[in-house]
């Protein structure tokens, strides 16, 4: 019940945010003009654009295989189906449930601890953020954006300073994630974290020793074991060569994503900007959809796309038409492939989404996980037992 309640609240919040974004984006664009523009689009360009998008997802699968290797050597299709189902769920459910559903599906099929697989998904997001930030910094220095540009968006003003602020915020997030990964994977710092977690019951100075031990065994030890398992999932990041390979694959993923946007624009009248400018549009759009929203990122996608295109002098009607067209054809193929993968694997996406929402990997019913204590956790536990 709690999981369903959280899902409903997340959906309502996403609908409100997306509704506001859609209203602010299209309030000054006559609907009949937008519909007329959509009729002029050359939809034959959709075919190569969608093909490029799907190739980028194949590269994502190869990258995930590489990240999964220390956890379990995985075949291409064993990685492909959970990944596509996860992205499909991100398109149809709120709160990016697909990020949790993917390790839940992989656990069910491959019997690998949820937290280990979740760690690989988290590492993927770090590679994506790092690559987007690198591209963002390069584009800010090469693509001309007037410092006097100021676009009204409701009560907000979007300009070059806004973009730089968003970039700095994303950089801080990336640094926080990287530092967290280093702390969890480094042996000495992980031992300190484990000691801190197992020592939490000692703060209950008013409780009996037996009660503290029950809390330590029932809660703290399980949490420490999950961190150990999470760290195991990040083991690949200790290999510099493999990290470099993941960065190269991430470059290809996002380079192809930019190409797909540019190819789609070739079929949309009035979108006459360079490849680098279109790439900047994609990155700005990605920053917008990083905010929580309704499934499929409706509203924020449009706001980011229209704002970015306006920066480069594209008229509002054409900007809105391209953004809507591109959004549909970026989402629909992923949804279709994800549904086909769910049929092939027999995955019950409703059950998977529910299990993901209640955070499988704890010890919940229907979401059991391998919870074998790591060696250094056992050592720290023995230290506490000896002290007692």
Inter-residue contact 317 to 34 (CB < 8 Å): yes
pLDDT tens, the chain, 388 aa long? 444 565 556 556 655 655 665 665 556 566 677 778 888 999 999 999 999 999 999 999 999 999 998 888 999 999 999 999 999 888 877 667 788 889 889 988 888 888 888 888 888 988 898 888 888 878 877 887 766 677 665 555 667 777 777 777 777 877 887 788 778 777 788 888 888 888 888 888 788 888 888 888 888 888 888 787 777 777 777 788 988 999 999 999 999 999 999 999 999 999 999 999 999 999 988 888 876 666 678 777 888 888 889 888 898 889 989 999 999 899 889 989 998 998 898 877 666 666 665 544 443 343 443 434 444 556 555 555 555 5
CA atoms lying within 13 Å on the CB side of residue 286: 21
DSSP secondary structure letters along 114-131: HHHHHHHHHHHHHHHHHH
Inter-residue contact 261 to 282 (CB < 8 Å): yes
Chain Cα centroid distance, residue 383: 39
What was the pLDDT predicted at 356?
60
SS3 label, residue 54:
helix
Q: Looking at residue 133, what DSSP letter applies?
A: H
Which run of H or E residues covers position 253?
Answer: helix 240-266
Inter-residue contact 69 to 231 (CB < 8 Å): no
Residues written for the chain: 388
The predicted model scores a pTM of 0.77
């Amino acid at each position: 019940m709690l999981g369903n309640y959280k899902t409903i609240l997340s959906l309502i919040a996403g609908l409100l945010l997306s509704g506001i974004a859609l209203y602010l984006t299209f309030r000054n664009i006559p609907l009949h003009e937008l519909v007329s523009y959509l009729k002029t689009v050359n939809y034959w360009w959709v075919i190569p654009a969608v093909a490029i998008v799907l190739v980028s997802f194949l590269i994502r699968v190869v990258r995930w295989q590489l990240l999964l290797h220390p956890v379990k050597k995985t075949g291409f299709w064993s990685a492909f189906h959970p990944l596509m189902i996860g992205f499909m769920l991100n398109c149809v459910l709120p709160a990016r449930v697909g990020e949790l559903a993917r390790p839940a599906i992989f656990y069910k099929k491959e019997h690998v601890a949820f937290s280990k697989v979740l760690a690989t998904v988290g590492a993927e997001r770090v590679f994506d953020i790092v690559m987007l930030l690198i591209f963002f910094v390069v584009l800010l220095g090469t693509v001309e954006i007037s410092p006097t540009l100021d676009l009204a968006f409701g009560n907000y003003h979007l300009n070059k300073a806004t973009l730089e602020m968003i970039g700095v915020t994303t950089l801080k997030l990336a640094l926080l994630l990287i530092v967290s990964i280093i702390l969890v994977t480094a042996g000495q710092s992980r031992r300190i974290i484990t000691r801190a977690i197992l020592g939490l019951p000692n703060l209950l100075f008013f409780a009996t020793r037996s009660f503290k031990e029950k809390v330590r065994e029932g809660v703290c030890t399980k949490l420490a074991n999950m961190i150990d398992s999470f760290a195991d999932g990040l083991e690949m990041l200790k290999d510099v060569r493999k990290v470099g390979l993941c960065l190269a694959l991430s470059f290809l993923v996002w380079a192809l994503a930019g190409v797909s946007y540019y190819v789609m624009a070739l079929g949309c009248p009035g979108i006459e900007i360079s490849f680098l400018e279109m790439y900047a549009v994609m990155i700005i759009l990605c920053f917008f959809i990083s905010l929580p929203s309704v499934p499929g990122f409706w509203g924020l996608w449009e706001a980011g796309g229209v704002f970015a295109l306006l920066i480069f002098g594209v008229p509002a009607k054409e900007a809105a038409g391209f953004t809507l067209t591109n959004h549909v054809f970026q989402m629909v193929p992923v949804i279709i492939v994800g549904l086909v993968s769910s049929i092939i694997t027999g995955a019950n996406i409703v059950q998977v989404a529910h299990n993901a929402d209640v955070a499988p990997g704890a010890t919940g019913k229907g979401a059991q996980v391998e919870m074998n204590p790591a060696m250094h956790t056992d050592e720290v536990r023995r230290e506490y037992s000896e002290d007692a």
